[in-house]
Structure formats: structure tokens, C-alpha cells
Chains A and B, each alone.
Chain A
Amino acid sequence: MDFVGKRKLWYFLSILVIIPGIIAMATHRPPLNLGIDFTGGNLLQVKFEQPVETSQVREALKEFNLEQASIQTAGPNEFLLRTPVLTEEESTRMLDSLKEKFGNLDIKRNERVGAVIGAELTRKGLYALALATVLMVIYIGFRFEFLFGIAAVVALLHDVLVTVGLFALFRWEVNSAFVAAILTIIGYSINDTIVIFDRIRENLRLRKKESLEELVNKSIAQSLTRCINTVTTVVMALLALLILGGDTTKFFALTLLIGTVSGTYSSIFTASPLWIDLRNLTQGRRRTARAKVRRATSP
């Protein structure tokens, strides 16, 4: 399989997946469906003993001017209510009123995040992303070379964009676990990319007369079984979590699933071809510069 020669096709495929997500982020305000972890607000998960309809719950919330709240079913007679920040008193009053109207209920979750904490989480999440990226470029630059670092980071941004883009497109809710998932994806994606880069580094040392394209193709082919087998085990673990895990871990598993699959794709089809392009670019420039010097100094 020609991984490097068809690189324009692979780049195009990546862009095809990423563009809709970017459009979704550009056209929505806020760009992502942010959960209460970021925006601040209340989240209430209740299960009624008697049959209750969504419309009835919405009607009941009118009394508290919360008819705009997001109401989602989470099972039979079970609802997830998301509202702006309520005080303890307001939330107690709301619960009492629900009990009075629809009978006994089981409070499965009752969460409130203040706006201050939400803003902090956003800030810290972005810091974490930036810091982790910089540290990894430095590490790869130190262990390999600078261009490998750049190519790896582009591949990593690719995976983040794919994942975040899909979340934007489908309006899946983003919470604090999402930040952890994205950072894990970064770690995994880099991990995967490095395994191939490591092979390129090794083959470069033994390089005979083959072209750089051939060498990279060979390195990818040599790493391919490992990449596929590894991602298979990860996907198996995550699928188990996605299918069998509880509601709270589902989106976490989904995020990781998208990210790891994208991470494997980008290690094979984005990072290494890109490294060749970057290398040709810088070497080409150096060569033309050298040629210019020669021309200028020759009589």
C-alpha cells in the first residue's frame, strides 16, 4: 500500500471530516454544547414512581420560570433537567413542587456548579491543552528532531479537531470528563505517531539508496500490524465501556473511541507523509539557497 504517494488523498479525507465540524462550531453560539461544568447551572436527574410525561414536567417548571430548561428523558419516568444556576432554596422549592404534583421521586443526581467554577474549568482546560502540547513538542524535538515534533503536533491537532468537530456537529454535551478525554487522546495519538517515527528514525540509520518516500512507506508498513492490533485492543475496551457502561461513562468512552481511531489514522496517513512534505520544504529551500550562493560566487 502506498501511504506516502497518495498523501494528497489522505489529507483531503481528513479535511472532509474536519470541515463540517468547523462549520458547526462557527455557526453555533457557543461553538460547543457546553454542560454545566463550563457554564455553571443545575443538573437534576429524577425518577418518578408514577408515570410522568416530559410535557407535564415542563408545565410544572413554568411556576419557576424554568420552562426554557432542557428536559431530557433518561429512562422510564426518569428525567434529566438542566437549568441555569439555582440557589439551594430554589432547587429545594422546585423539588418539593415536583413531589407534590407527581408523587414520590428518587433523586439520582443533583448537581450545581457555580459560574465562577465553570469559567475556571474552561481556563484550566485550555491551559492544560496548550501546556501538554508544548511539552510534547519539546520532548520529541529532544528525542527525535524538530520537524518530527511539528508533524506529530499537526497529527494531534487533527485528532482533536476531528473529535471536537464531531461533538460540535452532533451537539453532544461537553463536560469536564471531555477535557480529560481530549488530553488522553493527545497522549494516545502522540504515542501512536512516535512508534512510526521511531521506525523511520531506525531505518534512516540503515538507509541505503532508497528514496525518502520509499523509506517512510516501508517504515509505516513495518509498524502497521502493531498499530492495527493496538487500536483493536483499545477499541474493544472502549466499546465494552460504551455499550455496557453507565450513562455517565458513555460519552467519555465515545470521545475516546473517536479520538483513538482518528489517532491511529493520523499516525499512518497524516504524520509521516507530512514529515516528508516538511522535510522537502525545508531542504528544498536550503538547496535553492545553496544554489543561489554558488551561482553568486561562481565567476
Chain B
Amino acid sequence: MTGGSKKTFRAVAVFLAILALGVGVLPPLIRSMKLGLDLRGGVHIVVEAKDTADHQVTDEDMEALRRVMSSRVDELGLAEPLIQREGSRRLIIELAGINDPEEAVKVIGKTALLEFKTADGQVVVSGKDLRDAKAIIDQQTNEPMVTLKFNDEGTKKFAEVTAELVKQYSLNDPRRHIGIYLDNELLTNPVVREAIPNGEAVISGGFADFKEAADLAALLRGGALPVPVEIEERRAVGPTLGQDSLLKSRNAIVVGLIAIALFMLIVYRLPGLVADFSLIVYAVIVLAALWALKATLTLPGIAGLLLSVSMAVDANIIIYERLKEELRNGKTLRAAVEAGFTRAFATIFDSNTTTVLAAVVLYFLGSGTIRGFAVTLVLGIAASMFTAITLTRFLLRLLVNIPAFQDVRLYGVRREPSVEAEG
């Protein structure tokens, strides 16, 4: 084996390895990407807790709210629901891949605000004071009823008010009642027979059967919101639109990538081919990073990826233009490759840093899908710095040492083979 064919063998092995990596790793990576709501249908809901006249939303309220929302979402039986807090009084709920987004919004949006009010409309206790609710059958009357247990604060308030009512009004006085309201709808309006100091109350009468009582208890247990909430934002994408978007953007990406790859090959010849192989590694790195970060791929995210491919190609274009220039100036092939990379590095670094600055600002000030776009753009640029500079240089060095690849016409320059042969 001569030195030349050994080098050829090595180069072919490396290029084949990259091809194998692309064929073997890319399809499963693409399949395992987590897709955003806009690509597979789903709902994005922003719930905001509201202050009332006598209660400011606290951190505990938000935690309680999050728990309630979790249990409601669990009812829907979804694989990967996302519930996260944003700011001091908002919750973001994202449910991907559901068939009926409208139904999901209804379940999430149930207000289920439980309030105990006196006849003059004063709120005694509310859902946040409730510790437990259970449906039972009253042993004496055989009627279904719901027993409630309040927390310490609720017990105290309930004890005070019931004691006051018992002291002030006679048993027949309508003002001696405490109304139980769910979402401002009167459920039952029982009379306060005696002061209730232990924080236990009973809702009885008005239930058709045990199931109705059990439903109410379940709603109160898991559903009574600590504070009033409103849905500030909701975006529901039906599964048909999601699939349509996914299919169309997939086609757009494939066509865009093929066009870019062909362009590089035609304009830059052999280095263009090297750039295309670098792009395969680039795609593996970016997708693997997104997968490792458990990032969700959204439509703007895909656009960001496509744009970062262009940025990666741009780095190669800058280097190759330099390479051609150095060749035209009479440098040998090997020297031209080295000079091309060294000179182009500062340009690529400065131009990419400014783009990253814009993307970082987007990340910190944007939300949701815009963030996804910023993440993919930054990841893409970082990966392209590696593949366009380090990897492309490695691959080109492999090639320029092979005699068969030393004709400068392969590098897009019209010039007779230079002094390379002698030197």
C-alpha cells in the first residue's frame, strides 16, 4: 500500500463513518423529538389568580392552585402534562396530543370556588380553608351527606362566626343560616343549630343519591380553588391542523436542506461536499442536544433550526471564499486551507456573537414558543461554530493530502496546479 492509497483509505473511512452516523442516528433522533402543541395539537392555557377585596394572592395559594390543576389534569389521563408557574400569579398548563382540546379547557377552567357565606353576604370560610371533604350516608336518616373538615385557620373563623350567630339570632331567624356556595351558586343553606368549635361541618339534604354527594365531595377535595382564577390566554390547536403543520414543515425542511446541499456542492465543489458532510454531523449534534435538554420542537423552533443551518453554511462560505482567494493569490493548497480557516475565524466569531446576543435577549424577554426559537438558534450557532470550523478543517486536511484531490479546479478555482507538486 502506498502512502497515497493509505491516506485515501483513511479519508473514505471517515466519510463513510459520517454517512453511517447520519443514516443510523438521525431517523431515530427525529422520531423521538418531543413535538410542541402547534405540531401535534393540544392546548396551552395561562391561568391567572385574582386578588379579592380581602385577600391578596400568596405563594401558598399558588402552590395549592398548582396541586388542584394537577389533579384536574390527571383526570384527563395524559402522558406528559406540563404545569409550571410563571411570575407571582400565573400558571402555564400545556397539554399536548389531545383529541378534544375544547373539553380539556372546560375541565381546567372549572372555577369551583367554594364559599360559606352568612345571610348578609359576608364570606366566613372558603375553599382554601378546607382540609377534607367526604361523602357519607347518615346512619339515622339514611340520607347522603358531605362532611367537611377545615384547617386551623378555617376552624377558628368558623367557630367565631357560628358562636356569634347562635348568640345573636333565634333558631327560626333566617339570619342564623350559613349558605354554602359553589361558584356563587347556592348549594344548600343550612341553619346553624349550635356553635361549631371543632371545624367540622356537614352539608346534608338536597342530594338525589350517594353519587351526587360523592361527586361534590370529590370536586371540593380536588377542585375547590383557593382563590378565584381566570384564563388569561388559551390556545387550542386541533389535531388535524397540528398534523398538517407537521407534514408541511417537514416537507419544507427537506426541500430547503436539499437545495442548500446542492448549492454548496455546485458552487464549492469538493469543499462543498465536505460542508455537506459537516452538516450531517451538525444535524446530529443539534438534534441530540435538543433531545438531551428535553426541548419541545415547535414551529418557530423549526424555523430557528432552518435558519441556523444557513448560519452554519455561512461559516463555510466565509471560509471557502477565503480559501479560493488564497489560492488565486498563488498559495499552495495546503497553505491556502490553513490560511482560509485562520483568517475566517475572527469574522465568523464576531458575526455569530452578535446573532447570539439577539437570541439571548429573545430568550429572557420572550415566552413559550419564542423561547424555543431562541434556544434552537443559539444551540445551532454553537454547533455550527464547531462543525464549520473544527470538523470541516479536519476533513479538508484529510483530502488535501491525497494526490488525486490536489487539482485546484476541484476547489472552484481556475488555475493550473501550483507549486504544490514540487514543494
Contact = CB atoms under 8 A, between A and B. Distances in A.
Contact of B303 (A47, A106, A128, A249): A249
Contacts of A192: 351
A202 B300 CA distance: 37
Contacts of B292: none
Given A139-B354, A236-B263, A128 B256 contact: no
A230 B249 contact: no
A79 interface: no
Contacts of A245: 248-249, 252
A204 to B, nearest CB: 14
A109 B357 contact: no
A236 B358 contact: no
Interface in A100-142: 106-114, 116-117, 124-125, 127-128, 131-132, 135-136, 139-140
A110 B260 CA distance: 36
B299 interface: yes
Contacts of A132: 357-358, 361-362
A136 B263 contact: no
A230 B256 contact: no
A136 B249 CA distance: 32
A246 B318 contact: no
Contacts of A114: 46, 48, 230-233
Contacts of A195: 318, 347, 351
Interface string B288-324: 0000000000011011101101110110011001000
A180 B359 CA distance: 9
Nearest to B353: A139
Contact of A191 (B299, B304, B355): B355
A188 B249 CA distance: 22
Contact of B234 (A92, A112, A198): A112
B237 A109 contact: yes
A229 B317 CA distance: 7
Nearest to B343: A202
B238 to A, nearest CB: 5
B241 A180 contact: no
Contacts of A155: none
A88 interface: yes
B233 A191 contact: no
A229 B267 contact: yes
Nearest to A135: B357
A107 B362 CA distance: 31
B102 interface: yes
Given A111-B235, A117-B232, A248-B245, A240 B318 contact: no
B109 interface: yes
Interface stretch (B177-185, B205-213, B365-373, B413-421): B365-373
A35 interface: no
Nearest to B105: A88
Contacts of B369: 176-177
B317 A236 contact: no
A226 B306 contact: no
B300 to A, nearest CB: 6
A183 B244 CA distance: 27
A280 interface: no
A108 B307 contact: no
Is the contact region of chain B dominated by helix, strand, or loop, or is it mixed?
Answer: helix
Interface in B307-355: 307, 309-311, 313-314, 317-318, 321, 325, 343, 346-347, 350-355
Interface in A191-245: 191-192, 194-195, 198-199, 202, 222-223, 225-226, 229-230, 232-234, 236-241, 243-245
Nearest to B241: A108
B236 interface: yes
B259 interface: yes
A226 B234 CA distance: 44
B101 interface: yes
A179 interface: yes
A251 B102 CA distance: 26
Given A124-B366, A248-B38, A116 B357 contact: no
Interface residues of B, number: 73
Contacts of A111: 233-236
Contacts of A239: 256
A234 B343 CA distance: 23
A128 B245 contact: no
Contact of A249 (B235, B249, B346, B374): B249
A86 B303 CA distance: 31
Contacts of B234: 110-112
Given A109-B236, A111-B236, A187-B355, A256 B252 contact: no
Interface in A240-262: 240-241, 243-246, 248-249, 252-253, 256
A150 B347 CA distance: 19
B389 interface: no
A249 B369 CA distance: 12
B19 interface: no
A29 to B, nearest CB: 25
The residue in B235, B307, B346, B361 that gathers the most chain A C-beta atoms within 10 A of its C-beta is B361
A202 B355 CA distance: 21
Nearest to B373: A180
B233 A190 contact: no
Nearest to A244: B252
A226 B303 contact: no
Interface of A: 45, 47, 88, 92, 95, 106-114, 116-117, 124-125, 127-128, 131-132, 135-136, 139-140, 143, 176-177, 179-180, 183-184, 186-188, 190-192, 194-195, 198-199, 202, 222-223, 225-226, 229-230, 232-234, 236-241, 243-246, 248-249, 252-253, 256
28 contacts: A107-B101, A110-B234, A110-B236, A113-B232, A114-B232, A125-B365, A180-B374, A184-B377, A187-B357, A191-B314, A192-B351, A194-B347, A222-B325, A223-B321, A226-B321, A230-B314, A233-B314, A237-B259, A237-B310, A241-B303, A243-B252, A245-B248, A245-B252, A246-B248, A248-B38, A249-B248, A249-B299, A256-B303
- Sort A-B residue pairs by CB-CB distance and give the 4 closest, nearest first: A240-B256, A187-B355, A187-B358, A114-B232
